C-alpha cells in the first residue's frame, strides 16, 4: 500500500544512516578506527572507481522487546523505503529471539543506498513464565519512541512530510531510539535476575532505548581487515563467519570485535544507585558476494556442515581458531564451483544481464526474433554480473551474537522451526522472501535486455 510518506525516501535513508554512523563514532571510538582501516584496505584494492553505494554502505542491528515496538519501527523504516525481508530464527542456537532485516527492495533503491537493519524481537513465549512477566512489566513501561516521533509518523502516513524541516525533525527524533543510555531503567538485582535467564533478556528489557548494538561497514577484503585489526590491537573475534575466501565471492563473510564493557548506573525503587557493567555494543565488518539460488543455498548449508565435521574429526581446538577453520572451509567448499561461468551454468547464483550497446558491438540481425540467453551471451550482445547478496545468514548471526556475550557460549544447533507468524503479527505485514526478490531482479534485467535489443523474446 502506498502512503504519502516523505519527498525522497532514498535520500532520507542515506541521511539517516549517515547520522547514525556519526552518532556511533562518538559512542564507540573503535568503530571510527575500523572505518579508517576499511577505507585504507579498500583504497589499496580498488583498481577502478567503486560503485557509488560502496563508501556509504553499512548495516546496523537493534533488539526490540515488544510487538508494539516492532510495529512502530516497521512504520519508521517504511518511510525510508526499508521493508522486512526474511525470517531469522535465533532459537536455533538457544536465543529467545527471532528477527528480520529491514532493507530497500528494488535495484534502483539498492543502488542508491542498501542500508539494512537486522532487527530482533524478544520471544516472550520462549521464556519461563516468571521471567516473561518480569520482562513485560518493565517493557510495558518504557517508551523508546518520543511523542513527537509518533506525531510525525502519523503525519507522514496521512498527509505526508512535505518540507526539509519536518524531515530533519523526523530523523532527529528517530536517532533517539538508537542512542545508548548509561543509566538502566531497572535495579541491579533485577538486571542480574534477567541476565541469569538469558543475557539478551537483560540487554533488551533493562535499558530505556533500543540502542544500536553495532554498525557494519562493507569491505572488499575481510582477511586483510581482520589482520589489520589484530595489528592495531582491535580485539577481533577469532573466527570469520560465512564461506571461505574465494575467487567468486558468494553470500557474506563477517567478523566482529568484542563488545565494550560499559559502565552502567542501575537505580532501585528507593533511588539507590549501583554502578556496574554491561556489554552492549560492538563493531563488525563484512564482505559481500553474490546472491545464491535455492540450490546454491542448499549447497552452502551442506558444505558449512561438512566443514564443521572436518573440524570435529580433526579434534583441533575447535571452531575458535580461524586458520584451522578457514582450512576446513576451503576443503569443504572445493565442491562449490568457483568461476562465474560454472556458477551460471549450474544455476547456483543470480545474475544481472546487461545489454552490450557499445558502438562496435556485433550487429543484431535478429531484431523482432526470439533468442536464447545463451545465444545472446555467445555472440556478445549480453554480458552479466553477479547480483549482490543483501541479506544475512542465521548461523553467522548466531556466531556474532554469541561472540559478543561475555561468558556465554552456545553454538550447538537445536531443532526449531521458529515462529514466523508471530513476527508477522507484530509487524503486521508479511515478511518478504529474499530469494523471490533476487529472482525478480534477474528477470527484470533480462526484460531490459530484450527491450534494448528489440527482441520478441529471450
Ligand atoms: C545481531 C547479530 C546479527 C549479523 O550481521 O549477522 C547481525 C545482534 O547482535 O543483535 O547483525
Ligand atoms: Ni551485523
Query: What is the C-alpha to C-alpha distance for residues 154 and 19, in angstroms, rounded to an integer?
Result: 23
What proportions of the chain, in percent to the nearest 5, are helix, strand and coil? Answer: 45, 15, 35
Is 118 a residue whose pLDDT tops 60? yes
Nearest in space to 356 (alpha carbons), one of 449, 454, 447, 443? 449
Report the chain's mean pLDDT, rounded to a whole number.
Answer: 92
DSSP class of residue 138? H
Q: Does the pLDDT at position 450 exceed 90?
A: yes
Q: Which ligand number lies closest to the CA of residue 401?
A: 1
Residue 363 has pLDDT above 60, yes or no: no
Whether ligand 1 lies within 6 angstroms of the CB of 293 is answered as: no
Quick: pLDDT tens for 33-84: 999 999 999 999 988 888 888 888 999 999 999 999 999 999 999 999 999 9
Query: Cβ–Cβ contacts within 10 Å for residue 211, how many?
Result: 21
The C-alpha atoms of residue 100 and residue 115 are separated, in whole angstroms, by 14
Kindly give, in sequence order, each residue whose CB lies less than 8 Å from that of residue 453, ignoring residues fewer than 6 positions away: 355, 364, 367, 376, 381, 382
Best mutation site among 100, 392, 408 for ligand 1 pocket (most ligand atoms within 8 Å of CB):
392
Q: Is the confidence at residue 352, as pLDDT, over 80?
A: yes
Does residue 118 have its Cβ closer than 6 Å to ligand 1?
yes
Stretch 251-264: mean pLDDT: 88
Cα(155)–Cα(276) distance, integer angstroms: 41
Q: Is the dihedral of CA 443, 446, 450, 455 positive or negative?
A: negative
CA 393 to ligand 1: nearest atom: 6
Tell whether ligand 1 has an atom less than 6 A from the beta carbon of residue 279: no
| 129 to 64, 205, 234: CA distances (angstroms) | 19, 15, 40
Could you identify the atom of ligand 1 that is nearest to the CA of residue 88?
A: 3
Report pLDDT for 55: 83
Ligand index nearest the alpha carbon of residue 119 = 1
Q: How far is the CA of 217 from the centre of ligand 2 (A)?
A: 9
Mean local confidence (pLDDT), 170-179 = 98
What is the Cα–Cα distance from 395 to 241, expressed in whole angstroms? Answer: 8
pLDDT at 43: 92
- CA-based nearest residue to 223, from 244, 206, 205: 244
Atom of ligand 1 nearest to the CA of 241: 6
Ligand 1: centre distance to CA 99 (Å):
9
**Does the beta carbon of 115 sit less than 6 angstroms from any atom of ligand 1?**
no
The pLDDT value given to residue 417? 78
pLDDT class of 240 with cuts at 50, 70, 90: very high
Assess whether the C-beta atom of 120 lies below 6 angstroms from ligand 1: yes
State if residue 396 touches ligand 1 by the CB under 6 angstroms criterion: yes
**What number is the average pLDDT over the span 407-414?**
60
Q: What is the pLDDT of residue 360?
A: 58
ipTM of this complex = 0.99
Q: Which of 396, 363, 411, 334 is nearest to 101 (CA)?
A: 396
> pLDDT higher for 219 or 397?
219
Mutate which of 280, 397, 398, 403 for ligand 1 pocket (most atoms within 8 A of beta carbon) = 397
pLDDT score at 384: 97
Tell me the CA–centroid distance for residue 345 and ligand 1, in Å.
33
At residue 1, does pLDDT exceed 60? Answer: no
Which of the ligands is closest to the CA of residue 242? 1
- Taking the CA of residue 60 as reference, the ligand 1 atom at the shortest distance is 11
Percent with pLDDT over 70 in the chain:
94
Beta partners for 62? 119
- Going by alpha carbons, the residue nearest to atom 5 of ligand 1 is 397
Per-residue pLDDT at 188 exceeds 80: yes
Confidence class for position 124, pLDDT limits 50, 70, 90: very high
Amino acid at each position: 500500500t502506498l502512503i504519502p510518506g516523505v519527498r525522497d525516501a532514498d535520500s532520507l535513508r542515506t541521511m539517516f544512516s549517515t547520522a547514525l554512523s556519526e552518532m556511533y563514532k562518538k559512542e564507540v571510538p573503535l568503530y571510527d578506527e575500523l572505518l579508517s582501516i576499511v577505507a585504507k584496505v579498500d583504497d589499496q584494492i580498488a583498481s577502478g572507481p567503486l560503485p557509488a553505494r560502496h563508501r556509504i554502505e553499512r548495516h546496523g542491528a537493534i533488539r526490540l522487546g515488544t510487538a508494539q515496538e516492532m510495529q512502530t519501527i516497521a512504520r519508521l523504516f517504511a518511510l525510508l523505503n526499508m521493508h522486512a525481508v526474511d525470517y531469522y530464527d535465533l532459537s536455533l542456537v538457544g536465543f529467545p529471539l527471532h528477527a528480520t532485516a529491514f532493507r530497500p527492495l528494488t535495484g534502483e533503491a539498492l543502488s542508491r543506498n542498501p542500508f539494512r537493519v537486522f532487527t530482533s524481537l524478544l520471544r516472550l513465549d520462549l521464556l519461563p513464565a516468571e521471567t516473561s512477566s518480569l520482562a513485560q512489566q518493565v517493557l510495558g513501561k518504557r517508551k523508546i519512541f518520543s511523542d513527537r516521533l509518533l506525531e510525525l509518523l502519523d503525519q507522514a502516513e496521512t498527509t505526508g512530510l512535505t518540507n526539509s524541516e519536518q524531515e530533519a525533525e523526523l530523523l532527529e527524533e528517530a536517532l533517539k531510539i538508537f542512542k545508548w543510555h548509561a543509566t538502566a531503567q531497572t535495579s541491579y538485582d533485577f538486571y542480574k535476575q534477567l541476565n541469569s535467564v538469558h543475557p539478551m533478556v537483560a540487554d533488551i528489557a533493562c535499558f530505556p532505548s533500543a540502542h544500536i548494538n553495532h554498525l557494519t561497514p562493507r569491505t572488499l577484503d575481510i582477511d586483510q581487515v581482520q589482520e589489520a585489526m589484530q595489528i592495531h590491537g582491535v580485539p577481533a573475534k577469532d573466527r570469520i563467519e560465512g564461506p571461505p575466501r574465494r575467487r567468486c565471492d558468494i553470500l557474506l563473510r563477517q567478523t566482529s570485535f568484542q563488545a565494550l564493557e560499559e559502565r552502567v548506573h542501575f537505580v532501585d525503587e528507593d533511588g539507590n544507585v549501583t554502578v556496574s557493567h554491561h556489554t552492549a555494543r560492538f563493531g563488525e565488518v563484512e564482505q559481500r558476494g553474490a546472491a545464491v539460488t535455492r540450490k546454491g543455498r542448499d549447497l552452502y548449508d551442506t558444505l558449512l556442515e561438512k566443514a564443521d565435521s572436518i573440524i570435529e574429526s580433526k579434534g583441533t581446538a575447535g571452531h575458535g581458531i580461524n586458520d584451522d577453520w578457514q582450512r576446513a572451509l576451503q576443503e569443504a567448499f572445493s565442491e562449490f564451483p568457483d568461476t562465474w561461468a560454472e556458477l551460471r551454468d549450474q544455476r547456483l547464483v543470480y545474475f544481472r544481464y546487461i545489454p552490450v550497446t557499445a558502438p562496435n558491438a556485433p550487429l543484431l540481425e535478429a531484431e523482432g526474433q526470439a533468442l536464447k540467453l545463451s545465444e545472446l551471451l555467445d555472440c556478445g550482445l549480453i554480458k552479466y554480473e553477479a547480483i549482490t547478496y543483501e541479506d544475512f545468514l542465521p548461523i553467522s548471526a548466531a556466531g556474532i551474537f554469541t561472540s559478543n556475550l561475555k561468558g556465554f557460549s552456545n553454538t550447538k544447533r537445536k531443532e526449531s522451526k521458529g515462529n514466523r507468524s508471530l513476527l508477522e503479527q507484530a509487524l503486521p505485514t508479511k515478511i518478504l522472501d529474499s530469494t523471490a526478490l533476487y529472482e525478480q531482479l534477474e528477470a527484470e534485467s533480462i526484460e531490459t535486455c530484450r527491450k534494448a535489443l528489440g527482441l520478441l523474446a529471450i
